Structure 1
Amino acid sequence: MSETVELAGQASGTGPALVMLHGLYGSGNNWRGIARQFEKSHRTLLPDLRNHGHSPTHPDMDYRQMAADVLALLDREGIDQASLVGHSMGGKVAMALALTAPQRVEHLLVVDIAPMAYDHSAEHGRIIQAMREVNLGAVRSREDADAALSETIPHAAVRQFLLTNLQREGGHWQWRIPLDILADQLPVIQGWPTGLDTFSDAPVEFIHGEASGYVDDRGRAAISRHFPDATVLSYAGVGHWVHAEDPKRFSTDLHTFLSDNNNP
């Protein structure tokens, strides 16, 4: 097994630990708006997963290893047990952690992903290639980069999300995420590890957007295999970014879920 990396991120608040894990191309800061609402009752940790945000790069994005990164973070912070919330890729990391170290999980809430392999390689390959093709030497502002991306990526919200990874260093613009590694590891990121069993040691909830298609009948079957006691909530008219598209309902549901301190 390869070594863990020391994750960067933010921490605030006091109380039981609440760790919130972001998705592909994101960072811990994606959860900042939601996390603020829990700082009075929880110690919130918003790590940047490996190859994202300000965390180190690493050529291996196996979910067992990414879960080990989060466990190492908990150890450094002196946290024996935490509630985990994860969106998309971060949801897979959270599930892998629960399935490999169940004693460390107090609650598990997974947002718009199931424990199974997906095939969105065409979409993500196009996104990564579009980012690679931006002539950073000619970029003078974020507006320049946005215009370059718009030739391939028509949705402004997607471009603005991707542009959170554009940073200026030494007078030059550069992507802070390693696009070559992400391209190489797409099959791993979209996949799901074999050999993982079931988890029923703590409350588990899945929240998904009905408009996203990430949790269909096949996804529900996969959830039942690995998390037989899980509750599944569907948000009508909501897509993949559940917590961004309906933050009020999501925060309410998360608060209710975390208030349940009884194991199933």
Structure 2
Amino acid sequence: AGGVPGGGEGPLPGAGAPPGHGPSLGHAPSAHLGGRPLPRSAVPLAYVEMRGRGDRLPLVLLHGLFGSASNLQSVAKALACPTGRRVLMPDARNHGSSPGSPLMTYEAMSLDVQHLLDRLGITKCIVLGHSMGGKTAMTLALQRPDLVERLISVDISPVLTSHISEFSAYISAMKSVKIPDGLARSAARQLADNQLREVVQVGNLRQYLLTNLLEVEGRYVWRVNLEAISHHLADIINFPIFHKPYPGPTLFLRGSNSSKHYPEIQRLFPKADIQDIEGAGHIVHQDKFEELVTAVLNFLPPL
């Protein structure tokens, strides 16, 4: 994770991963099918784990764009305690402590989760994903239904769901942040917050983005790989084309302001249960934590 050239003030680079696991941002060769790049290999994901009973299907929780495993830890605890289930929270590629990669498609992120499950000897699990993580979870279920006993998608549908311009503006704002070397962490965070304020006007969203501000040997970097994310924004806001539906039980939990995409949900997930959580925005687990946890617990298979 390189620092600012010259050691003075300069735009923060995207770290992509901790030191020693920097992103490869060159033009790596990749296979293509119908114009879409296919992942050549999986990225070994970093993850946080809550141990549980071996005779119960584990839960895998997948975070959203610009997030990390820590975003879902309170949800993980609330689900692990009453069920005794093992809970895994991976960092997606180019996020958190996972390595960087120039490829950022749902096919690639699904392959990463498959690789993690294989590495841990997990042959079947229950997957919950929020936002980008929900699309990764849906992709995994549609590609490998044998691995996914049931699926929970939090405030995301299997369709084009956002405008690129919004995320592009966030990335540009993050890239333009300048922090002098050696500044105390609290002062650095406040300075970055002030610089992001003009573009990212919602305070909670700024704080969410600032969880990615990382100090490396006295210099500040972004631990998310902004270049890879920027290059694949069209992939991230869209959804791959699938023809064969996922046959398992699926729960779609939506904030009350979310768009409705019933036809595509019902085509790909014929056993879908779609529930609205009143008063919740996009970050449902932050706005209506108890309601989300209750809905998920009621959806899980009996113990």
Q: CA deviation at 1:183?
A: 0.8
Q: Provide the C-alpha distance between the structure 1 equivalents of 2:107 and 2:226, rounded to a whole number of angstroms.
A: 21
- Map of 1:259 onto structure 2: 301
2:147 counterpart of 1:147: no
Q: CA deviation at 1:228?
A: 1.1
Q: Counterparts in 2 of 1:71-110, with a 5 A limit?
A: 71-110=114-153
Read off the aligned partner of 1:10 and give its amino acid letter.
V
SS of 2:275's equivalent?
Answer: strand
Q: CA deviation at 1:73?
A: 0.5
Once the two structures are superposed, what CA deviation does each residue of 1:44-94 show, in whole Å capped at 9, x if it has no partner?
000001111111111111212211100110111111100000001000000
SS of 1:39's equivalent?
Answer: helix
Question: Which of residues 16, 20, 36 in structure 1 aligns to 2:77?
Answer: 36
Q: Provide the C-alpha distance between the structure 2 equivalents of 1:185 and 1:44, rounded to a whole number of angstroms.
A: 29
2:254 counterpart of 1:208: yes
Question: Are the structure 2 counterparts of residues 10 and 196 from structure 1 closer, same or farther at C-alpha, using a change threshold of 3 Å?
Answer: farther
Q: CA deviation at 1:123?
A: 0.8
- Map of 1:118 onto structure 2: 161
- Map of 1:237 onto structure 2: 279
CA contact (8 A) 1:136 1:174 kept: no
The normalised TM-score by structure 1 is 0.93
> What runs of 5+ residues in structure 2 fail to find an aligned partner?
1-37
CA contact (8 A) 2:135 2:157 kept: yes
Q: CA RMSD in A?
A: 1.4
CA contact (8 A) 1:206 1:231 kept: yes
CA contact (8 A) 1:139 1:145 kept: no
Deviates more, 1:68-77 or 1:131-140: 131-140
Q: CA deviation at 1:155?
A: 1.0
Structure 1 or 2, whichever has the larger Rg, is 2
Q: CA deviation at 1:260?
A: 4.8
Q: Provide the C-alpha distance between the structure 1 equivalents of 2:242 and 2:78, rounded to a whole number of angstroms.
A: 37
Q: CA deviation at 1:139?
A: 8.3
Question: Which of residues 64, 70, 75 in structure 1 aligns to 2:107?
Answer: 64
- Map of 2:6 onto structure 1: none
Q: Provide the C-alpha distance between the structure 2 equivalents of 1:59 and 1:224, rounded to a whole number of angstroms.
A: 33
Question: Are the structure 2 counterparts of residues 138 and 155 from structure 1 closer, same or farther at C-alpha, using a change threshold of 3 Å?
Answer: farther
Read off the aligned partner of 1:258 and give its amino acid letter.
L
Q: CA deviation at 1:122?
A: 1.2
Q: Provide the C-alpha distance between the structure 1 equivalents of 2:255 and 2:192, rounded to a whole number of angstroms.
A: 30
Query: If each structure's helix is expressed as a fraction of its own residues, which one has the higher value?
Result: 1
CA contact (8 A) 1:67 1:96 kept: yes
Question: Which of residues 193, 212, 232 in structure 2 aligns to 1:165?
Answer: 212
Deviates more, 1:60-69 or 1:132-141: 132-141
Q: CA deviation at 1:137?
A: 3.3
Question: Which of residues 185, 199, 203 in structure 1 aligns to 2:246?
Answer: 199
Q: Provide the C-alpha distance between the structure 2 equivalents of 1:45 and 1:174, rounded to a whole number of angstroms.
A: 27
- Map of 2:20 onto structure 1: none
CA contact (8 A) 1:100 1:196 kept: no
The normalised TM-score by structure 2 is 0.81
2:135 counterpart of 1:135: no
CA contact (8 A) 2:277 2:291 kept: no
Task: Point out 4+ residue stretches in structure 1 off by more than 4 angstroms.
Answer: none
- Map of 2:50 onto structure 1: 12
- Map of 1:223 onto structure 2: 265
> What runs of 5+ residues in structure 1 fail to find an aligned partner?
none
CA contact (8 A) 1:99 1:196 kept: no
SS of 2:49's equivalent?
Answer: strand
Q: Provide the C-alpha distance between the structure 2 equivalents of 1:196 and 1:149, rounded to a whole number of angstroms.
A: 41
Bigger relative contact order, structure 1 or 2, given CA contacts below 8 A and separation 6+? 2
Figure out how many residues of one structure are paired with residues of the other and give that number: 256
